[in-house]
Structure 1
Amino acid sequence: MKPQKFYFDDEEEGLAIQTSHPNFTAVVKEEFYFDCVDDFSPFGNDDGADALLSLTEWYQETRGRNKIVNWLFRTIDEYGFSYQSKWASGLVSAEELQKLEKEDPSFIGCMDRTIIGVGFGQCKITGSINVELKQLVKTAIARQKMIHEKDLAKGKQIHGDVGNDFGNDEKLLREYLDRLDIMERDLSAFKEA
């Protein structure tokens, strides 16, 4: 069996199409995927950028032999939030999410951006995505859409920590929701590992 080829970004060059798996570049056509300062991209926000860097190190050390989802939950839990990410990653109830956001306003946003960054990062590095991870990314995207669609309906940012960036800017909120739609579409096109 031929060993899997991994695609890693050059530390000095950063995100690049040339250092991405061909399966990844065949699916993603939007430039924002390769913009390291675009807060609405999987790798441009702090959580997603850190996730890609940690994932790269994980692949370099393990060659992907360990279970990625276990690593993901451990990574998020090491951030020191009050809740366990494995439990919280399945939440989609507006009431439960609102309760968590009141207790820890950064938790859900950070967790979701990390999950999304790791999911797209695995596709970028390997060209495919773990089945369980793909479901987690779908849920994270759906959760972010639900949270921010409510804000859009109310005309102001109320939920989540991304609001610190949006303020009450409807245009930015719509842009974020549009990006989530694109990521959701692209995610469905990736081959499952």
Structure 2
Amino acid sequence: MKRAFEFIDEKSHKFWWIETSENKFVVNYGKIDSIGKYEIKEWDSVEECEKQATKLINSKIKKGYKEVNFDYNNHYYFDDMDYDIDFLTSHPNFREHFTDEQLYCNCGDEETPFGSDTGNDVLHIIEEKIRKNKNFSFVDFPKYLLEKEWGIEYFEPILITDEKVFAEELKIKDKGLSREAIINESDEVVIATAFAQIKITGKIDEELKEKALLSLKRVELIAKICGYGESEINKQLYNDLESFTNKENIKLN
């Protein structure tokens, strides 16, 4: 079930929509043309979830809300901070393409986009900044976050052509930290930012996409040099991101 409503009178211009998925639903509501607030609720069964969703819908109709054709594609999607990352609070284009919910809404696996502390922080910091500025620049964000807010050197994602030179570079210590750790932090931020843009807006800047693909390649090379072994998750992230294409019906800045 997925239904949207609006309430418009002399004082109010509000929207409200609901979507159910198995035994939980999401509601998104607020002033028309705003991002609004997201809330997810989980129930004991599919039947109870549908029952409670219908109850909410009927309550809105009684209050004067009118059903509308909501533009779900040209809308920002933020997570319910009390529930954490979820497909229901992700853009339809994200859900359609990145279908592995256990991978792309994972809050505990370090290799996933939002599973590490860094990746999770990046997603939620971006959400906070967009609420203050809808013209937020995803492309510029990784460098800004690392250097201006976290005080860490930013390593631009590049194509590594000389593995031996790069391997020696990884051994360098900067203020007690290995170059490997610092580069890895840059790559985690870039990768999380790229997936966050798609999750929130349903599209990605081509420049950011290219940077994220280079970061994923660099992560793979570092793992090889350091003897960590191949990562199937990293390969899937690369393949899924590479194959993602923007749809023409997305108009967000």
Same fold, judged at TM 0.5 (above): yes
**RMSD of aligned C-alpha atoms?**
2.1
How far residue 29 of structure 1 moved from its aligned partner, in angstroms, is: 2.1
The equivalent of 1:69 in structure 2 is 139
The equivalent of 2:158 in structure 1 is 90
Q: 1:29 aligns with which of 73, 86, 99?
A: 99
Which aligned segments of 4 or more residues in structure 1 are displaced greater than 4 angstroms? none
How far residue 101 of structure 1 moved from its aligned partner, in angstroms, is: 4.6
The equivalent of 1:47 in structure 2 is 118
Q: 1:139 aligns with which of 186, 190, 214?
A: 214
The equivalent of 1:7 in structure 2 is 77
Deviates more, 1:45-54 or 1:72-81: 72-81
Do the aligned residues in 1 keep the contact of 2:78 with 2:127 (CA within 8 Å)?
yes
Q: In structure 2, do the counterparts of structure 1 residues 126 and 97 end up closer, same or farther at CA, with 3 Å as the change threshold?
A: farther
How far residue 116 of structure 1 moved from its aligned partner, in angstroms, is: 0.6
The equivalent of 1:185 in structure 2 is 239
Do the aligned residues in 1 keep the contact of 2:111 with 2:233 (CA within 8 Å)?
yes
How far residue 139 of structure 1 moved from its aligned partner, in angstroms, is: 0.5
1:16 pairs with 2:86: yes
- In structure 2, the residue corresponding to 1:68 is in which secondary structure? coil
Query: What do the CA deviations read for 1:63-87 (whole angstroms, capped 9, x no partner)?
Result: 1x14322222100213222x344xx
How far residue 146 of structure 1 moved from its aligned partner, in angstroms, is: 1.0
Do the aligned residues in 2 keep the contact of 1:6 with 1:126 (CA within 8 Å)?
yes
CA distance in structure 2 between the partners assigned to 1:118 and 1:43 by the alignment: 9
Q: In structure 2, do the counterparts of structure 1 residues 150 and 18 end up closer, same or farther at CA, with 3 Å as the change threshold?
A: same
With normalisation by structure 1, the TM-score equals 0.78
Q: Count the aligned residue pairs.
A: 167
Q: In structure 2, do the counterparts of structure 1 residues 137 and 97 end up closer, same or farther at CA, with 3 Å as the change threshold?
A: farther
Q: In structure 2, do the counterparts of structure 1 residues 33 and 131 end up closer, same or farther at CA, with 3 Å as the change threshold?
A: same
The equivalent of 2:223 in structure 1 is 148
- Runs of at least 5 residues in structure 2 that lack an aligned partner in the other structure: 1-70
Larger helix proportion of the pair: 1
How far residue 97 of structure 1 moved from its aligned partner, in angstroms, is: 5.8
CA distance in structure 2 between the partners assigned to 1:101 and 1:134 by the alignment: 28
Letter in 1 for 2:142: L
- In structure 1, the residue corresponding to 2:140 is in which secondary structure? helix
> Could you say which structure has the larger radius of gyration?
2
Do the aligned residues in 2 keep the contact of 1:23 with 1:127 (CA within 8 Å)?
yes
CA distance in structure 1 between the partners assigned to 2:214 and 2:198 by the alignment: 17
CA distance in structure 1 between the partners assigned to 2:206 and 2:186 by the alignment: 19
The equivalent of 1:115 in structure 2 is 190
Do the aligned residues in 1 keep the contact of 2:107 with 2:116 (CA within 8 Å)?
yes
The equivalent of 1:60 in structure 2 is 131
CA distance in structure 1 between the partners assigned to 2:103 and 2:91 by the alignment: 17
Looking at both structures, which has the greater relative contact order when contacts are Cα pairs under 8 Å and sequence separation is at least 6?
A: 1
Larger strand proportion of the pair: 2
- In structure 2, the residue corresponding to 1:8 is in which secondary structure? coil
